[in-house]
Chain A
């Protein structure tokens, strides 16, 4: 029995998990059209590599990764590409994003694929590459590209592999049912991960005690493997990465650090299944288990859902009654977000579609004033003071917010859950974080502008000084000339003509120099080509650096993500421009 640690705070919302596990994981008919967003993960959006009208097979790559922190997309079924355009996606803002639409041919024909069984004899780097090529990103929530997480080129060896089977959000049973039915394959996936990470000394599956069937299903498969199944009491949000690390190891992940920095890798159990399918079966990630639940749907069940399936397809097949409930949530009731419409597709991170009835989740009551009762602070798993954060968020006091560690808030929603005054606390924190990030960006911009201005001013002053010096020198020369009147005074005409000739000759010099410069610019095509090639090489180098920076920023959840991703985009455009020019030149 492994020792476990108890996290502070936490809440016990009604679990509501039983209703969706009465039946096994189901299969739905293939929808007529599937919509695959190009960005389902953290990092750069994939780049389409198919054309409209092109026939594709199930598992065929339809979009290629754009850089290191990116993943490819695969056709979830066979059919034809019917659109490449902006569509509504699963985002709380209701924004549109580039997607590829595939019209199914209903044949569901797989592309030729092959897995490998003796992964022990394959280099970790090759295995990581296979994981990347299979388009796997974390399936628990954030959607971080798994290949980046498993990248072996790190300084610190990994001694602990934590598999997150907590599934602490109410209602969701996707991981639970997957473990019940696929424990063997999941454990196989964990073994592959272990091989990739150089066999860490501790491998733990963290699971809450409200999933006895899953725990039982895992037991025979982990026997003798060195993998331990660690069971701990159910409490929300035990499944948060930081919380789970503490529960299982008693160590805290230092603020702003990644698990890898303390020798750990934390991976969702659904992702381990996808990794097994990718390596052993050679199948890319084209489907996932999604829970369809809530009292507004007639059938509450888990489905093996194709990525790109419109939510409407799931709702219709499960007898959704729109009169019964007002919101449809992607994810759970604590951290999930409401969908703008039923047309948005299921993505790689969609573990649940929750359609609650009004009785289950009534409309929010108006917020009452905060009386600083402190129930939120008792519930906070990060030991923050939510009531103070709320106070300072309202006052837009950024300094106090940062001193109160606003950026350590994981937005789990425990504070809002317990708030007797119904204050949407998490929303205030999201807004405040956005404001602070924006203010920091603005500050960077302002600093940059100020530096430029100061440089400009300095240059002008410099020029002014030089002019002044020249003037002084001339004045001095003139004085000297006056003091010792030269004999040339008498030969007035000659000196005068000289004085006239000098400026004209210097003007001619300037023109000649300018012409020479222009001529130099009009270099030979060979020179131009060489120059362009040099530019391309340099830009490529810059792109790599920029992408690395972006990866770092994303990994550390830094505020500069936007800045770096803009830089990557910029560099990529420049590269493209140079390449086009080169093509024109050589053509």
Chain B
């Protein structure tokens, strides 16, 4: 009798990369629902266009690289990238914005670097930043949240939304509006309390910004689902949210006219929760050890606040994440865990330095 030769371990857990990716996709559902409820059909249309584009791009590049298309498409990673990009883009953005961003994410940021597992930067955020720099007007036009729509106007229906996206009609006046972060950026001269009194975006909200707080709560819920399924550890998200909260408390400036906004507004506006649980948790481009991820998250939190408060862009998650991606290998060198039987942590570079 001759037997099959296989190396140990022979037992394997049932977890697989495609299951992890699918779970991430499911975990965005609360966020998609909240976006659709608060901002209309736009986000769903983004998701569909981005997904189709991503799958086509991935298939073409994988084919060109001479790999098995079925094997690589079934890991669901292209869909995750498409989804994350689609959810960061403004609802009702023109279709070509979404296509250009997705092509850039998949082809340049992911496949040209070697495909899944080899990209140094978060592909969705690369696509987002390329769009933000190239098409600032389209990228900063956000639909107004449900509560802020003028009397008698509602979000466009599905057909109408498709017509807007594909450029055959323009959205009705009043359907677009400023985001809470925009608002604070352009409201210097007013005390925080005054802004809250005057602006319906805030006085119609519970604690952050109308509509946006629901979207953030939904992404927080999705993130907690992933956390409880141990798809990632708490280090990255807590690092970012902790640093963001700390920065916004330190620089709150007791609500003066130059204050960049309340801590709650920063935690529950823009892409804070989405970034903390869905973007910086991309394991490929982040730091690897738990301590490394805590520092990596904190770095993003600090950068997000700095760019929001004193930079030119109202939101900053994409820039902060890309900058931190640069820093990740450096963080990794100095954050090795202490191995069993050793008294000290080691540095990854100690051998090279020793010579």
B170 contacts partner chain A, Cβ-Cβ < 8 Å: no
Tell me if A255 and B17 are in contact (CB < 8 A). Answer: no
B19 contacts partner chain A, Cβ-Cβ < 8 Å: yes
Given A369-B118, A372-B288, A403-B347, A408 and B340 contact (CB-CB distance below 8 Å)? yes
Q: Which residues of B contact A5 (CB under 8 A)?
A: none
Cα A378 to Cα B230 with chains together (Å): 10
Q: Which residues of A contact B306 (CB under 8 A)?
A: none
Tell me if B337 and A383 are in contact (CB < 8 A). Answer: yes
Q: Which B residues between 316 and 336 are near A, CB-CB below 8 angstroms?
A: 332, 336
Q: Which A residues between 337 and 386 are near B, CB-CB below 8 angstroms?
A: 337-342, 354, 356, 361, 363-366, 368-375, 377-378, 381-385
Q: Which residues of B contact A381 (CB under 8 A)?
A: 340
Tell me if A361 and B115 are in contact (CB < 8 A). Answer: no
Q: Which of A126-134, A418-426, A547-555 contacts B (4 or more CB under 8 A)?
A: A418-426
Q: Which B residues between 216 and 271 are near A, CB-CB below 8 angstroms?
A: 230-233
Q: Which residues of A contact B75 (CB under 8 A)?
A: 368
Q: Which of A95-103, A324-332, A443-451 contacts B (4 or more CB under 8 A)?
A: A324-332
Tell me if B3 and A403 are in contact (CB < 8 A). Answer: no
A433 contacts partner chain B, Cβ-Cβ < 8 Å: no
Chain B: interface secondary structure? loop
Given A246-B340, A381-B340, A405-B346, A417 and B288 contact (CB-CB distance below 8 Å)? no
Q: How far is the CB of B137 from chain A (nearest CB, A)?
A: 35
Cα A408 to Cα B341 with chains together (Å): 8
Cα A335 to Cα B7 with chains together (Å): 9
Tell me if A420 and B11 are in contact (CB < 8 A). Answer: no
Q: How far is the CB of A341 from chain B (nearest CB, A)?
A: 5
Tell me if B346 and A94 are in contact (CB < 8 A). Answer: no
B283 contacts partner chain A, Cβ-Cβ < 8 Å: yes
Q: Which residues of B contact A254 (CB under 8 A)?
A: 341-343
Cα A322 to Cα B3 with chains together (Å): 9
Q: Which of A334, A336, A340, A400 touches B3 (beta carbons < 8 Å)?
A: A340
Cα A413 to Cα B17 with chains together (Å): 18
Tell me if B11 and A418 are in contact (CB < 8 A). Answer: no
A252 contacts partner chain B, Cβ-Cβ < 8 Å: yes
| Residue in B77, B338, B339 whose Cβ sees the most chain A Cβ within 10 Å | B339
Tell me if A385 and B289 are in contact (CB < 8 A). Answer: yes
Tell me if A383 and B340 are in contact (CB < 8 A). Answer: yes
Tell me if B1 and A387 are in contact (CB < 8 A). Answer: no
Cα A365 to Cα B19 with chains together (Å): 14
Q: Which A residues between 308 and 327 are near B, CB-CB below 8 angstroms?
A: 312, 315, 322, 326-327
Q: How far is the CB of A383 from chain B (nearest CB, A)?
A: 5
Cα A164 to Cα B286 with chains together (Å): 40
B16 contacts partner chain A, Cβ-Cβ < 8 Å: yes
Besides A252-B341, A387-B288, A414-B9, 8 new A-B residue pairs in contact (Cβ under 8 A), listed by A number: A254-B342, A334-B9, A335-B9, A336-B10, A371-B116, A377-B288, A408-B341, A420-B16
Q: List 12 A-B contacts (CB under 8 A).
A: A254-B341, A329-B8, A333-B9, A338-B6, A364-B6, A371-B283, A373-B232, A377-B337, A382-B339, A382-B340, A408-B341, A417-B12
Taking beta carbons and an 8 Å cutoff, which residues of A are in contact with B? Answer: 8, 11, 13-14, 92, 94, 170, 242, 246, 252-257, 312, 315, 322, 326-329, 331, 333-342, 354, 356, 361, 363-366, 368-375, 377-378, 381-385, 387-388, 399-400, 402-405, 408, 411, 413-414, 416-422, 424, 426-427, 430
